[in-house]
Amino acid sequence: MANPGFVWLAAGLLVTKSHDGSAQGDTPAEAVNRWGGETFQHYKQLYQSAEAAAAGKCLPGTILTSAYQLLLERAPDPSWAGIVPGFRHLTPGELAAYDPEGLHSHGWFYTTFITEGRLYLQWLMSQLRTAGCAVEQRQVASVQELAPAFDVVVNCAGLGARELVGDSSMFPVRGHVLRVRAPWIRHYVNSQCLDGECYIIPNTDTVVIGGTVQKGDSDTTPRGEERAGILDRACRVLPSLEAAEVVREWVGLRPGRPAVRLELELLPLAGPLEDGRDSIHVVHNYGHGGAGLTLAWGCAADAAALVKEALAAQRQH
């Protein structure tokens, strides 16, 4: 990890990862750090709130964990070191505990949050319904077709932005992960292996291990050789995982882009509407790669500000 970026998320965890099709890329570091810092504070508030254990389901799925980042070579402290609590360099003893083969020469420790998307999204949806929002699910071929019913459209289409708004810079970043039953593992570990990625992330009831970062690969079928490699790398870091039962395996596609797209655009319509409008304001908020949950709240705040800007512009006309 010669150049660690502010890509904190893997399977719901705020972590450091080198960038390949993820959120940072050409996105200004100041923006990424700000979005990530605001999102970190949001998860902290959720963790400390009474809703953290809503209905006994650990909604909204946010838990606190210690993180151990193992590096093949010593690297400069990351730009976010002052944001996460307790950032420091690993002691030799700590490094040895998660590096039985002695492959890593350095490492970091810090405290961070795991936010499980499968739980967090349920909680967000419940917040929307409580606020009186209407939820409709249907296929949309173009942003313009929404103009008659809406004053502003927020485009969070991810990889779908290739077709929806013709963004040819979007690309899939394939990720293959496993979920195992290993209740004795309560800390996050990320290891730089010479033969691939390795991360071990405790969730509320299972542990996620991974993974792969394959730019341009859109195949969502699990591959046996990758599965074997993921398990082998994880067991080399934590040999006790050899006894863990695999309960789920899946492949997802991260919405890769050279940079996050977060901006306001005025798109022309094919013809004027009954109210006289000949264009529609669109707030684009997509292209976050594997850092969607990592940057979500900060990006949402900026997107909401752009919606207000668009509405104010409409009132002036």
pLDDT digits (tens, 9 = 90+) for 10-36: 445 554 343 344 456 788 888 988 999
pLDDT digits (tens, 9 = 90+) for 93-146: 999 998 888 889 999 999 999 888 888 898 899 999 999 999 999 999 999 999
The count of residues in the chain is 317
Q: What is the residue-averaged pLDDT of the chain?
A: 88
Of 15-19, 40-44, 102-106, 293-297, minimum mean pLDDT range = 15-19
Q: How far is CA 100 from the centre of its chain?
A: 29
9 vs 297, which has greater pLDDT?
Answer: 297
Q: What is the DSSP string of 135-191?
A: ------S-GGGGTTT-SEEEE--GGGHHHHS--TT-EEEEEEEEEEE-TT--SEEEE
- Tokens standing for residue 58: 């650990």
CA atoms of 179 and 15, how far apart (whole Å): 18
Q: 261-268 and 196-202: which strand pairing?
A: unpaired
Q: What is the pLDDT of residue 204?
A: 86
Query: For residue 20, what pLDDT is reported?
Result: 44
Q: Are 276 and 309 contacting, i.e. CB atoms less than 8 angstroms apart?
A: no
* Residue 38 CB neighbours (<10 A): 17
In three-state secondary structure terms, 202 is: strand
Q: How far apart are CA 98 and CA 107, in angstroms?
A: 10
Is the pLDDT higher at 193 or at 59? 193
Q: In sequence order, what E strands does the chain have?
A: 9-10, 13-14, 62-71, 88-89, 106-115, 152-155, 171-181, 188-193, 196-202, 207-210, 214-215, 245-256, 261-268, 279-286
- The mean per-residue pLDDT over the stretch 206-223 comes to 95
Question: What six digits make up the tokens of 157?
Answer: 């289409």
Residue 11's pLDDT is 44
CA dist., res. 136 & res. 125, Å (int): 12
Q: Is the pTM of this model over 0.85?
A: yes
Pairing of the two strands 196-202 and 207-210? antiparallel
Task: State the burial class of residue 242 (Cβ atoms within 10 Å of its Cβ: 0-12, 13-18, 19+).
Answer: exposed
